[in-house]
Amino acid sequence: MSEPLTIVEGIAAPLPLKNVDTDIIWPGLPGLSLRRGDQARNAFARLRFDPEGAERPDFILNQLPWREAKILVAGSNFGCGSSREMAVWGLVEWGMRCVIAPSFGDIFFNNACLNGLLPVILPENAVEAILATITDPERSVLKVDLVAMRVTGSGFNLPFMLDEHRRRCLLHGLNETGATLQQIETVRSFGKSYADRFPWTRIEGEKIA
């Protein structure tokens, strides 16, 4: 379960990079915990901190007002690469609730919606315009409304789209496991007919390991 999300309003930080992969978002450094709740410090760790662990003052997310950001605006293919859900947990635990980009890595996009991080896809030129706007600290506040499906900021008001299923997951902080377990009898009867059709897909536990 994640925290329900309807409107995210706050500082938006510009990260005008393409192909920000999940190794950048959540580097697999030695000695890290893989558990939820421990991930805030590792979000963008290599960009935020130097090898000694001190903050890098030149990184935008270490600077005011953007260090308070709840929204991140980035280039295309954000979250490509590894499936590590820690990348999403890290962003959320660090305080992000929304990422706006022209496109996202498929697995990251899905992970985000299951963890209360709203991924908003906008056309490349719109993202560029937003990036330019929020680089001005005076105009860095955005409002992303998942009910009205609009992004508003200084001088713009743009619609976005998200499929109904993922929208509901985010609005209600839904857990898909719980929802599916309510249907478990349907699943089991499907399983019976599936096994009749494809008996060769069965496998005996003892044989496996």
- Examine residue 159 and say whether the peptide bond preceding it is cis (omega within 30 degrees of 0): no
Alpha helical stretches, state H, 95-200: 106-113, 124-134, 164-172, 176-181, 184-197
Binding flag, residue 24, another protein (CB under 8 A)? yes
Q: Indicate the residue among 9 and 21 with the shorter CB distance to another protein.
A: 21
Binding flag, residue 184, another protein (CB under 8 A)? yes
Binding flag, residue 161, another protein (CB under 8 A)? no
Residue 191 CB, shortest distance to another protein, in Å, is: 7
Rounded to the nearest 10 degrees, how much is the dihedral formed by the CA atoms of 81, 82, 83, 87?
-90
- The binder of another protein chosen from 4, 16, 123, 137 (CB under 8 A): 16
- The binder of another protein chosen from 43, 88, 130, 158 (CB under 8 A): 88
- The binder of another protein chosen from 21, 42, 95, 140 (CB under 8 A): 21
The radius of gyration of the chain's CA atoms, rounded to the nearest angstrom, is: 20
Q: Which of 116, 107, 56, 118 is nearest to 83 (CA)?
A: 107
Give Cα separations from 43 to 35, 38, 151, 174 (angstroms).
14, 10, 24, 24
Q: Indicate the residue among 143 and 167 with the shorter CB distance to another protein.
A: 167
Please classify residue 191 by burial: count the beta carbons closer than 10 Å to its beta carbon, then call 0-12 exposed, 13-18 middle and 19+ buried: exposed
Catalog residues that contact another protein under the rule CB under 8 A: 16-19, 21, 23-24, 27-28, 30-32, 34-36, 46, 51, 75-77, 80-86, 88, 103-107, 110-111, 114-115, 124, 128, 163-165, 168, 176-177, 179-181, 183-184, 186-187, 190-191, 194, 197-205, 207-209
